[in-house]
Amino acid sequence: MASYQKIEQNGHGSDVSDISEKKSSMLKVLGVIGAIAIVAYAVINHLASPSGAPTDNDLANVIAVDKSGKVRLYDEHDRFVLEDYDIKPTFSSFLPGVAGIYGKPVWSFYVNRGQGIASFGTESKDYPIMEFNAANKAYQVTPFDGFRTFVQGSRGKTSFATEPFSPATSRVPGEVDASEKPKRFMYIGTNDMEIREFDFANGLETSVQYYVLPNADFSSQVRRTTFTNIGKTDLTLSALDGLAKMEPDGGRLDGLLKDMGRTLEGWFGVYHADDTLTMPYYRLSTEPSDSASVKIEEGGHYCLSFVESDDEGGATLLPIVYDTKKVFGQNTPMSSADGFATTTVGDILASTQYGDAKTSSAFAALDNVILPPGANITVASFYGKVEHIDEVSKIVKVITKAGYVRKKHLEAREIMDEMLAGVETNTANHLFNAAIKQNFMDNSLRGGIPIILGDVNDEMKGNNADEDPRVKVFHVFSRIHGDLERDYNAFKITPSYFSQGPGNYRDVAQNRRNDVYFAPRMGAFDVKLFLGYIQADSYEPLTVEAVAYSIPDHPIAKKIAKAVAADSNSSKVLIDVLVGGPFRPGQMFDLIEQLNIKIKIKSEEFINLLLSHAKQHSIGQYGTGYWADHWDYYLDLIHSYLAIYPDGEEALMYDTELQYFFSPATVKPRSEKYVLTLTFDGKSKHVLQLDATYWDEDKKEEQARFLNEKTGVIGMDANWQLSPSGEAFTSSPIAKLFLLGSMKYATRDAYGMGVEYEGGRPGWNDAMNGLVGMVGSGMPETYELYQLLNYVKGVVGKYNRTVVIPAELGVMLDKVNGALDELKNSGYSDPEDLPDDVPVELFTYWDTVASAREEYRASVRLMFSGETVSLDAGDVVDMITLWTEQIDLGMARALKIGSQGYEDDGKSGVPPCYFSYDVTGWVENGGKSAVGLPLVNATSMKVGRFPLFLEGPVRMMKTIRGDKDALQTIYQNVFKSGLRDNELQMYFLSANLKGQSYDMGRMMAFAPGWLENQSIWMHMSYKYYLELLRGQLYDEFFMEMKDYGGMLPFMDVNIYGRSLMECSSFIASSAFPDPSEHGRGFLPRLSGSTAEFLSIWVLMFVGPKPFFLDEDGSLKMQLVPALPIWLFDEDADGSAVVTSDEEVSLSFKLFADIMVTYHNSGKSNLYGVAPKSYSVMYKDGNVVRVDGPIIPTDTAKDIRRMVKVESIDAYF
């Protein structure tokens, strides 16, 4: 067994001289390995000598350039290439944290400073191996606290010392002669990152590659440092290469490192897995707490390094220098290796090292390796976490095998290639093809990639999750979008097989919008999942977690165990695990490992068999307040489903039963949240809507009934609203949608325009947080409500079936409709000029309807009665017709009342986005707020206006998609409005906010052009572009995309400042005070813009409704792309495919499986044009030829099931 104790030194334990002798012997062996491992450097004769200066011609032999001689933006591996990365404006990004389905990931963030990696660790930023720092700090400290390389070299009698990638030797932008300084490049791949330095002065090229170890039962950040002699004489090289500051393992450390870092170091120590210096183990001695119960820490971080070797005997570990003083001396900022500067690697290894009560380093030591001209040597290092020190030596046996590191690097790329194969796109624009893959990946990291589980035989592979209950859908690789720039978000990536983490409701809902296009077998999974989260009060939880599974009873568990367990003891333990409670796939494999359960079949077969018998459970968590926009994304999910399964609508909407989510928070009635308080200047009083929700103790008691006394955990059944029978109350999807529409209709503001933000949170733009207090409302939700009600009306009218709703909702509807009758009987109609003061008739109607809503919520606060009401289809249609007439009036009022802002007179013709309501009359009701302020009932209101926001026209355009002239008018109005950034030729999120009150929210605290204050918010801009494409404004769309550079990858990389493949949350606009920042992207990658980009991809390549029902109700298929000729034949790179008759073509993957090729014989734009014919190739070699634009039923069904079809050729 490996030693768990530190190596005793200075006469205690092994003698230092003995250790030194062992190291000396090992280093001699390494010298031989280094000589054997060298490879020829193909272009050595083209590069300058150590004393020469580099030229463009020198680099052109090793760095790909375009026709103009500039460095190409992508390399042979489709990695984005950034020249002089360390002197460009700062940016941050990350490795995706994807280790494969059967791998255990680490998270890893990087910046374009130093050697890139700025922080990495396991699970969350609470468990760092390298401390997590926000981007602004990471840019400063990464070159010093992060990975470093110190080289001592000699050629004959000439010696040198250098630090590759040091900021001290960075070139300076604009300097006249930088020829004596190294030339540096960064390569950004989908699952790896590399930096490369050409030091011509010393004849040394250094490259460092990073990737997350894939397909292994332990997690590691892998680093490969390669030294290449690009000089013309032999190079003798010694080096220290590794991490300057390595944190130990010992619980949730991130906050402690920042709040009491020096005290915390008292627990730090470096232990060793054997009696050498090759397997240091970084951990805390005990849990850092002040408790009567003391926990000894056993888990630790390891660093293992070796020279890569193809020798069948494997590689030998290098010694690790962990004593920071040996490297840096007294240079506490670690700006230079002062300790190493006055000694040698050998001397350091022969001396005593200390790792107690301080933060230690992890440098691999390479001593006296001779590299002939053109030769190289690669040091591989693995950084990770294990639960016990004994596991380290087991890892060593795996990673030191010949070729392991290179093999795993290839696997890391292959995993990502397989993951991104679903959007394989081959057009004439190489960057565009790569950007599609990057957007798909980033979209998947936020929403998850759906994988199909439960297949126990080949026959099942043609079944979808709606048809076959054995088929299960599980989303892997998802996480909340936290990173160095989004430092406020607590991301989590489980270090397990089938890795995933929780996500924010909105993010997951919108980023799964197109799932069914890439995984048709999932059927209506996403639709049912999210509609199931709708609560009785019409709100939803904040967080969505991955689904969990359970085995329903003991006999099934016994049956499974008999089929999979290798021995009787494993069978018994497995049965206990299966009936012990819910699990996720990764947790199941962890338990199997921890409990030493032996499985006799392959992992894939085991999990498929297990889940084919399992019951599925949705899991969500209430957060803080209820967001007004969570339901906005349901129709997108529904329409995506219907584009693939139009024949599944009736069964989905009527023949499925869904539960109601039950959160422990309740929305207060107005009488308990309208608070009389002082204005900011203290000179008067006004009414604000404050503390709109509260933690409901009665609800928490209701949930406590499901407490498991054995585990102390509340069961998942507590998350679903019950009826008195004790069973979860259920409704059909159409009934839940009708309930949702009814509630949102009853939540419209006093002028009948926007939907009120009365649940404590606004819509997606949470920087408008103050709008809730201003009794605010939003038109985006009204436009979505209009579409939702019309969809429900259409479904109910089409299938003419009753809608069964909770009886409590029926009572509310009677009151709401009665109030509408009273409004009509009042004779009210809108005057030509609408006053700011809400007319009495409208206020009375609003007050009555809001009261009905509040009474309904009170009646279902804890449970439903279980009683239902059946509404005839005709009654539902008539009811919704009356409601949408009122919504039409409200939308018209909104255009009349308009916007108001800096240089905005409200006559732009652009739909407004937000309104507020000043309570101008009130009566105190005797209640008090939590801080003792008077509560009031409103008796009159006055509407307030805001500047323009891009979301207003974006959402409004969805209601007029069939009217091309109206869409064109909106487009022109937006183009000429204050929403257009004329300098960047993009669109502001908001118009100029100058003069607005800080009451509206934190966006007013930001500088103009930054974050939500008048920046270019890529998600909203992409939403706008998507509506142009949906509205068939093709010329305008492609002009905005490519000619104006509004979308990636068509921006200027020198302005955008990061990879043209990767979206940002926002771009600093021309409103920002510092012009040097204009056009730069911030907050990387994981945003809603990727969902919009994929929707654009679907419309461009597939069309809006690939499957449809003809007049006879038969399924048909038709591809109707929207593709410009420059994607077939772009003169810039001439990479269009040319066939024998000189037609041009492009191809893409349909359903992540079927290759589709478009043959464009006319060499013209294919804007909304269907093919003239198809050729469908089956996997058995059979070919079905279709004349005409529509694919017939049988072939359409085969294409949708995928299993039989190989490819489709479409001829235009």
DSSP 70-121: SBPSB-TT--EEEETGGGSPP-EEEE-----TTS---EEEEESSTTSEEEEE
115-135 mean pLDDT: 97
What is the token pair recorded at 572?
A: 């018994």
- Res. 715 pLDDT band, cuts 50 70 90: confident
CA distance 720 to 808: 17
Whether the predicted pLDDT of 75 surpasses 70 = yes
d(CA 770, CA 997): 10
pLDDT greater than 80 at residue 53: no
User: Over 70: is that where the pLDDT of 558 sits?
Assistant: yes
pTM to 2 decimals?
A: 0.93
pLDDT value for 710: 77
Of the chain, the percentage scoring pLDDT greater than 90 comes to 89
Which tokens sit at 75?
């390399």
Residue-wise pLDDT for 721-750, tens only, equals 999 999 999 999 999 999 999 999 999 999
383-425 tens-digit pLDDT: 999 999 999 999 999 999 999 999 999 999 999 999 999 999 9
Dig out the tokens for 431 from the structure. 């960057």
CA 894 – CA 589 distance, rounded (Å): 56
SS3 assignment, position 217: coil
Please give the structure tokens belonging to residue 1036: 């305008």
**Token reading at 680:** 């900011």
Q: Find how far residue 810's CA is from the centre of its chain.
A: 40
- What are the C-alpha distances in Å from 857 to residues 364, 850, 995, 1030, 1042? 64, 11, 39, 38, 50
H/E stretch holding 1049 reads none
User: How do residues 287-308 score in pLDDT, each as one tens digit?
Assistant: 998 888 899 999 999 999 999 9
pLDDT value, residue 10: 34
The two three-digit tokens of residue 354, written as one number: 């200390």
Residues in the chain: 1212
Residue 280, preceding peptide bond in cis (omega within 30° of 0)? no
pLDDT in tens, 1026-1067: 999 999 999 999 999 999 999 999 999 999 999 999 999 999
Structure tokens at 1097: 């991809």
Give the pLDDT band of residue 176 (cuts 50, 70, 90): confident
Tokens of 175: 């300097």
Distance CA 7, CA 906 (A): 76
Q: How confident is the model at residue 57 (pLDDT cuts 50, 70, 90)?
A: low
Reading the block at residue 665, the tokens are: 């928070």
3-state secondary structure of 1051: coil
What pLDDT score does 1131 carry?
65
Write out pLDDT tens, residues 613-637.
999 999 999 988 899 999 999 999 9
Chain centroid, CA 374 distance in Å: 42
Contacts (Cβ under 8 Å, ≥6 apart) of 524: 465, 466, 641, 645, 648, 652, 656
pLDDT band at 1 (very low <50, low <70, confident <90, very high): very low
Q: Indicate the DSSP class of residue 599.
A: B
Helix (H) or strand (E) holding 812: helix 807-825
Contact 384, 220 (CB under 8 A): yes
Q: Tens digit of pLDDT for each residue in 780-835?
A: 999 999 999 999 999 999 999 999 999 999 999 999 999 999 999 999 999 999 99
- What amino acid is encoded at 650 in this protein? E
Helix or strand run (H / E) with residue 754:
none
Mean pLDDT, residues 14-38 taken together: 37
Q: By the 8 A CB rule, do 406 and 385 touch? A: no
Alpha-carbon distances of 456 from 472, 607, 1109, rounded to whole Å: 11, 10, 32
Average pLDDT over residues 925-941: 97
Decide if pLDDT at 331 tops 90: yes
Per residue in 1139-1157, pLDDT tens? 445 789 999 999 999 999 9
The two structure tokens encoding residue 1110: 């003809």
In 640-762, the DSSP E strands lie at: 658-659, 665-667, 674-678, 685-689, 693-695, 730-731, 755-756
Question: Three-state SS for 887?
Answer: helix
CA quadruple 1059, 1062, 1066, 1069: dihedral positive or negative?
positive
- The per-residue b/e assignment along 3-15, b for 16 or more CB within 10 angstroms, e otherwise, is eeebbeeeeeeee
* 3-state class (DSSP) for residue 1192: coil
- For residue 1040, give the DSSP letter: I
Q: Which two tokens stand for residue 264?
A: 């915390």
Residue 279 has pLDDT above 80, yes or no: yes
Across the chain, what does the average pLDDT equal?
93
Question: Does residue 182 surpass a pLDDT of 70?
Answer: yes
8 Å CB contact between 140 and 116? no
Distance, in Å, from the CA atom of 1064 to the CA atom of 1053, rounded to the nearest integer, reads: 13
**Are 1190 and 1118 spatial neighbours (Cβ–Cβ below 8 Å)?**
yes
Q: Write out pLDDT tens, residues 213-231.
A: 999 999 999 999 999 999 9
